[in-house]
Structure 1
Amino acid sequence: MVDPRSPHGDSAAPAPMLAQRLAAGDRAALARAITLVESKKAEHRAQARELVQVLLPSTGRALRLGVTGVPGVGKSTLIDRLGSMLTARGHRVAVLAVDPSSTRSGGSILGDKTRMAALATDENAFIRPSPSAGTLGGVAARTREAMLLCEAAGFDVVLVETVGVGQSETAVADLVDCFLVLMLPGAGDELQGIKKGVIELADIVAVNKADGDGVARAQAAAGDYRAALHILAPASPAWSVPVAIVSGATGAGLEALWATIGDHRARMEAAGLLQARRRAQQVTWMRVMLEERLTARLRTDPAIRRRLRELEAEVAAGRLAPLVAADELAAAMGA
């Protein structure tokens, strides 16, 4: 079920109280908590840090699945159908749909609310669109924290959908346990999307829209993808990337896809690789947060902002080398 974005003012409850309400299954508290971690206000950031730390012991038990693919591949339709199948089996599903930010307002366009009609009215589902706000690859700056909050609220499957452009695949892969790449059948070049970087990140490849006249094209495309994957060395000795054929519109192949996702998790856990993956992601998370803090200081410290503008003018005029300017700014920031 979709929860409205709460005003920042409603998110100002003390962190322990908000954490208690969230852990008790209060959906409004979850929505407010996510708004809190998305806020750029200093006082909200402090509360968000406390909230995430308080809830940290209650996180980590969910299956984290990333879903990406080119625009039009049917990510939202597939997630809607897959999520509904899972809630019918007793799972609680959270969807963090990273929306492209409006170029005018900077806010989320929120298209995914309307493209997930079944989950939007499901009491065992929670959909949260978040504006990408210009972060790398369109992945929302606070998606990691939002994922932890959903886990603490009792959601045992967390799906992260990305806009599927730029380098968002890399960013999403650093968030999840299993990375699903959706492909289109019959798109002219059957190897569209088979970029070495994307395939190296994929845990599962699925050809979507295998329905009606598209079934034969999907089967042919799957064969091409399998052949392409065969010549690439697997990222892990415990797992070879499979190619599934599915239809988000009809649900065909989704049960088998979910079984494959479960098989991936079981094998990775048995080999100790799931735990290693999450530990590495935690370190990456910390580094990203550190980089954000440094960048924020460039924007908010008056003296540094003033000197930045001066140095930019000098660099643009060709009077100062970019390396020299960067070193001076780093020294000013104590780096």
Structure 2
Amino acid sequence: MSDLRKQSSALQEKAGISPPEITNKTAINQIKKNRQQQPTSEELIAAILDGNRTALSRAITLAESTNPAHFEKAGAIIQGCLPHANKSIRIGITGVPGVGKSTFIEVFGKHLTQLGKKVAVLAVDPSSSLSHGSILGDKTRMEELVKDENAFIRPSASGETLGGVARKTRETIILCEAAGFDTILIETVGVGQSETAVHSMVDFFLLLKISGAGDELQGIKRGIMEMADAIVINKADGDNIKKSNLAKVEFNRALHLFPKRESSWEPKVTTCSAVTKTGISEIWELISSYFDLTKQSGYFEQKRKDQNHFWMLETINDQLKTNFYNNPEVILALEENKKAVQNNEISSFAAAQSLLQLYFKK
């Protein structure tokens, strides 16, 4: 009986197909050759202008690279794309961790693509101060938007950049605009005085808040509040609707304490729920009214010009810092001065002055 059961059982292991012992060497060599081939700057520019997302991603990787060998090629690509840029609107979105930035951006982005917009999301993830790694999980959070043919999501690590803005976000904006994206959404790491970095590269700055997270006045800080063009209280759903409306009143009162803006725009406070998708269309109407006002007055163009000047100076500072720390003589002298400073043999200021003199005398 036991022999019969063994023969009739469906749980029988069958022999699989053995892998070939010899791999096609021609195929291996072709794969290696394809990996070694890199498109030229001209080829990438042409592909970006044609809306090729693979080319766009490659160009962004080059722009973000800290490898000196990539600087010249990245610069040529950005310069080639520049005449085709500056035709979008740039919106910065910030808020404390847990406020629902990614969820809000996905719902907001889907609303914009349904209106016929082409949306690029530049999501900046925090880098670990210990391992220097970053999760880059925004594509996972934005499951629906990432599948939208009119949306492009690019997560980047913040690195050591103050304010949670990737060092090359400015260049990435130009590349995305050249690829045909007319609405750029920049998500930052969190809230703080250092958020001036993202404020200096966008046209509209949106601050996300939540109610019921402690004293509402705790969120009213001059630095971030003065920069915000709109405050949106997210998660205004269910039992939280009443608290959200109370928070709206508090923030409206606070905004009246600030001086009038050069743009003549009065910051607005509104509520929404990214989960129930309520209040999203009203936010876009609010942002659209801001652009109508600032473009008619000429403030929009003037702000763009001022930002270009600001980022020229920032790039100079950044390049000087990179060149300084990559200078072979400075690297050797830096280690010697480090030990001297630690042993109190020389002051920090004197050591810094000595290193700078060594660098600039070249």
The TM tier, using the shorter chain, reads over 0.9
Letter in 2 for 1:197: G
Name 1:334's counterpart in structure 2. Answer: 360
The CA distance in 2 between the partners of 1:117 and 1:11, in whole Å, is 32
The CA distance in 2 between the partners of 1:37 and 1:58, in whole Å, is 17
Name 1:50's counterpart in structure 2. Answer: 76
Letter in 2 for 1:169: E
Name 2:241's counterpart in structure 1. Answer: 215
8 Å CA contact retained: 2:192, 2:224? no
The CA distance in 2 between the partners of 1:234 and 1:13, in whole Å, is 50
SS in structure 2 at match of 1:205: strand
SS in structure 2 at match of 1:191: helix
Name 1:144's counterpart in structure 2. Answer: 170
Name 2:210's counterpart in structure 1. Answer: 184
SS in structure 1 at match of 2:267: coil
Name 2:30's counterpart in structure 1. Answer: none
Deviates most, 168-177 or 151-160: 168-177
Residue 56 of structure 2 is aligned to residue 30 of structure 1: yes
Name 1:86's counterpart in structure 2. Answer: 112
Residue 275 of structure 2 is aligned to residue 231 of structure 1: no
SS in structure 2 at match of 1:40: coil
Letter in 2 for 1:68: T
How many angstroms does 1:37 deviate by?
0.5
The CA distance in 2 between the partners of 1:176 and 1:52, in whole Å, is 18
Name structure 2 gaps, 5 residues minimum: 1-34
Residue 156 of structure 2 is aligned to residue 130 of structure 1: yes
SS in structure 2 at match of 1:98: strand
Letter in 2 for 1:287: L
The CA distance in 2 between the partners of 1:132 and 1:327, in whole Å, is 29
Name 1:325's counterpart in structure 2. Answer: 351
What percent identity do the matched residue pairs reach? 44
Residue 55 of structure 2 is aligned to residue 21 of structure 1: no
Deviates most, 62-71 or 197-206: 197-206
**Cα distance per residue 1:99-145 (max 9 Å; x no partner):** 11245653431121121111011010000000111211221111111
The CA distance in 2 between the partners of 1:113 and 1:229, in whole Å, is 34
**Cα distance per residue 1:53-98 (max 9 Å; x no partner):** 0110100010100000000001111110010011011100000000
Q: Normalization by structure 2: what TM-score?
A: 0.86
The CA distance in 2 between the partners of 1:11 and 1:199, in whole Å, is 49
Name 1:160's counterpart in structure 2. Answer: 186
Match of 1:260 among 276, 280, 286: 286
8 Å CA contact retained: 1:11, 1:35? no
Q: Normalization by structure 1: what TM-score?
A: 0.93
The CA RMSD measured in Å over matched residues stands at: 1.7
SS in structure 1 at match of 2:155: strand
Larger radius of gyration: 2
Name 1:300's counterpart in structure 2. Answer: 326
Corresponding pairs, count: 327
Name 1:4's counterpart in structure 2. Answer: none
